Each structure stands twice: as C-alpha cells, then as structure tokens.
Amino acid sequence: MVDKRLRLDRLTAAMEEKGLNAAAVAARLGVSRTIVSEWQRGRKFPGPKYLLQLGKLLGLRFNDLVEKDMVAEPVVAYRHKAHVKENDADALRSRSIARAVRLLVPFLPFNRLDAPVRYIKPQADEAYIAEAAREARSSMNLAGERVEFKDIIKLFGNLKTVLVPVLWGKAGSRDNGLHVFLPDSETSVVFLNLDVHLHDFRFWILHEYAHAKLQGAIGGEAEEGFAERFAALVLFPDKLAQAALDRVRRARSEGGRIRAAIEIAEELGISPVTIASRVDELSRMRGEGILLGAAIHAATANFNKRHKLVSEALFGAEPIEAADLIRVAESIFQCGLYEALRRYLAEHPDSESMIAASLGIGAMDAKAVRDALRT
C-alpha cells in the first residue's frame, strides 16, 4: 500500500509561476475553491481525474507533483474493557508497539508476496454474519458442541496474523488487547491480555479473528458489531441457543433461570452474559419477553470469582518467568513473534529496546525476555 501526498512546495511554486490562485485553479478544473485550498494545505488528495488535470494545468509531471511514502502507517485498535475510552497514553503506546513490530515483519514466518485470506464482499447483516459463523464452526471440525482454544487458534492459519499473549494486568486493568495491522505487508499482530476472565477469552479471540478477516472492509461501529455478533454465534449457535432457551424456560423462578444459564455457561466454557443475551433474544422473538435480563450480570460477577483468569489457568499461582510466557506463546498460541525477535537479535545483539517496544513492556521485563530468548 502506498500513501500519496502532494508536493506542496512544488504546487505552490508552479501556481505562482503560472499566476494562478486557488480560485483560478478551481475554475479551470471545475471544482470548488475550498477543495483546492484543502489540496494546498495537504488535508486532501485529488482524485485521479483532477490529479491529471492539475498536473497538465501547472506543467508538472506526476513525480514532480506527488510525493510517495512507500511505508504506510500501521492501523491500531485497542480493545478496552467496556465503557473505557482510549486516552493519549494509549495512543502513544499503541503507535510505539506498532512501529517496533513493523521492523520485525521480515523475520516472521510468512511468505512475503502472499495476501491473507479475507471475507468476500462482507456485509454487516445477520445473514452474512451467521453464514460466516457457520463456516468457522465447520472449518474447526469440532469434536463436540464446545469450542476449545486450540480450535480457535487453528482458524488463524491463513490470515498472516500473529497472536501474542501478554500479561497487561488484572483487576483494574483497562486492556483486553491490541490489534495492529501493517498495510505494507498485510500482516496483523494481535496482542491478547491473559489477565482476563477465563470464560471471556474465547469470545475475545474470535472477536479478533473477525477483525482480521474483515480488516476495515466495513469499518467503524458496524465492523465492531460484526465482530461481536460473529463471536457470539460461533460460540453459541442457534441450535444450542434454542436448546438453552427451552432449558431456561422450564425453571419456575428467576433464581432457577439464572442457575440454568450458569450451568450452560459451565458446560460450554463461555460467559453467562453470552448465554443470557442469546436466550433473551430468542425469547423476545417468540413474544415471551425477557427471561434473564440484567440479573445475569451480578450472577456473572460471582461466577467469575469462582474461576481463574486465563493467566492463572496457564501458569498457576507462581511468579511467571519470561521463559514460561514464551513457551506458552509458541506452543499454545503458535506465536511467531518470539522467533522473529530471536532472528532480529542475531543481527542486532544489543536490542533490549526493540523487545520492550514491540511487546509494550518495561526495561527489566525486556532484559528477562532477551535472556530467555538466548537460552
């Protein structure tokens, strides 16, 4: 991908030489004076038709008029916990990580010229999302109804996407993860915070899978809605949701209905909130009203207290060493970033700063990772 900009100094000089102001250029090209002013300020770039006409008017060749930056800026998206907004510190940190990761791309185990698999003409409507979810479940060849972590990891095989498990904090943490897309290589790097509730984690990985398959094709809130709906339908498709609705309806009290939803969540390994959302959705469609509602949130808080965080399930209660994190990253998440760092360090031995920047960690942790990579 190439990011193009007008050479504003050449543009200004050519206009002065021809005795043309913004109004005169606008009249010659049949556009508004405001548009020409935006071109002059570098805020907008002319379309192909007007770029050609502008060059002819000013006597400038394409390379004289257009400045090309061969490395497009990474696209970054923080995945915060609900109702948490990105701040300036988040933006600075994410950009720093993205720039560092881009330097590691040549060391990743991906073919340089292959494009990743994407959805064909994606649409943010129920029929398309449901079909995408059915295809995902089918491609995983599930042994049963429950989706396991290893099943989801397999989905990423053809996406040129690196999954990087990180330890970014427990209670009070803002972050669920970070998605970095590098347009010049069409590579995605997804950082997944392991310090999250176990029964939410499958949802978040599938959420990122949908974003990797879409990669901005829809954009904005519509794409976010696509990803959330996709994850819910993969984990809890219509067949299971219908059975859950029947099971919840048989309970004679609100407490009984909540207990039924909790039991289903345990069986499928997903959040009770996902169960309740789908059950209430189907119940409303039948004209029967809400069966679980807001009461599920307090029940889910108690449910989560009885279960480990992902990091605790993977590493136990002992302090986590850098070597342990690398081992889990490579064996469970098939993470190629650490191998890329090994190769990078072979060429740049004194590069703790690269480790710190690419993983979003401090200097002491970066030193521990460097030592682990060298053993």
- pLDDT value at 13 more than 50: yes
The string of pLDDT tens digits covering residues 230-246 is 999 999 999 999 999 99
Distance CA 72, CA 297 (A): 42
Q: Tokens 């988040």 sit at which residue? A: 90
Q: Which of 232, 228, 186 minimizes the C-alpha distance to 211?
A: 228
Please report the pLDDT score of residue 85 as a whole number: 59
How many domains in the chain? Answer: 3
Across the chain, mean pLDDT equals 89
Q: What is the pLDDT of residue 242?
A: 97
- Of residues 317 and 272, more confidently modeled: 272
Q: What is the pLDDT of residue 354?
A: 93
Q: What is the 3-state secondary structure (H, E, C) of 280-299?
A: HHHHHHCCCCCCCCCHHHHH
Rounded Cα distance, 131 and 233, in Å: 10
- Domain boundary pick from 198, 213, 235: 235
Residues 137 and 19 in one domain: no
Residue 168 lies in a domain: yes
Q: What is the model's pTM?
A: 0.79
The band of 46, judged by pLDDT with boundaries at 50, 70 and 90, is: confident
Given a cut of 60, whether residue 1 has pLDDT beyond it is: no
Q: Are residues 131 and 260 in the same domain?
A: no
**274 found inside a domain:** yes
Predicted confidence (pLDDT) per residue in 20-41, tens digit: 999 999 999 988 998 898 888 8
Same domain for 287 and 246: yes
Band the pLDDT of 94: cuts 50, 70, 90.
confident
pLDDT at 87: 63
Mean per-residue pLDDT for 73-89? Answer: 68
Residue 259 located in a structural domain: yes
Q: How far is CA 30 from CA 26, 27, 106, in A?
A: 6, 5, 46
Domain end marker among 235, 263, 283:
235
* 231 and 176 share one domain: yes
CATH of the domain at 53: 1.10.260.40
Residue 172: predicted pLDDT: 44
State the residue range of the domain holding 229. Answer: 75-235
pLDDT category of residue 280 using cuts at 50, 70 and 90 = very high
* Same domain, residue pair 201 and 106: yes
| 141 shares its domain with 49 | no
Instruction: Based on the fold, state whether residues 46 and 133 are members of the same structural domain.
Output: no
Residue where one domain finishes, among candidates 250, 267, 293: 293
Torsional sign, CA 73, 346, 161, 91: negative
Shared-domain flag, residues 189 and 119? yes
Do residues 79 and 200 share a domain?
A: yes
Residue 53 has pLDDT above 90, yes or no: no
Higher pLDDT, 199 or 1: 199
**CATH code where residue 90 lies:** 1.10.10.2910
48 and 87 fall within a common domain: no
Residues with Cβ within 8 Å of residue 164, at least 6 apart in sequence: 189, 190, 191, 192, 329, 333, 335, 337, 359
Distance of CA 111 to the CA centre of its chain: 21
* Residue 195, domain member (yes or no): yes
Q: Is there a domain that residue 355 lies in? A: no
Checking if the pLDDT of 158 tops 90, the result is no
Neighbours of 331 (CB within 10 A): 9
Q: Token pair of 61, please?
A: 């060749």
Please say if the pLDDT value at position 81 is more than 60.
no
pLDDT of residue 275 exceeding 70, the answer is yes
Does 90 share its domain with 164?
A: yes
Q: Which helix (H) or strand (E) holds 76?
A: strand 75-80
Say yes or no to pLDDT of 77 above 80: yes
pLDDT at 320: 92
Q: Is residue 94 part of a domain?
A: yes
Name the β-bridge partners of 69: 3
For residue 375, is it within any domain? no
Dihedral sign (CA 303, 229, 91, 194):
positive
Which one is predicted more confidently, 4 or 294?
A: 294
Q: What is the pLDDT of residues 332-349, one digit of tens each?
A: 999 999 999 999 999 988
> Residue 157 — φ and ψ, nearest 5°?
-55, -40
Q: Are 273 and 264 in contact (CB under 8 A)?
A: no
Do 188 and 160 form a contact (C-beta atoms < 8 A)? yes
Are 94 and 50 in a shared domain?
A: no
Percent of the chain with pLDDT over 70: 93
3-state helix, strand, coil in the chain (%, to 5): 60, 10, 30
Confidence of residue 103 (pLDDT cuts 50, 70, 90): very high
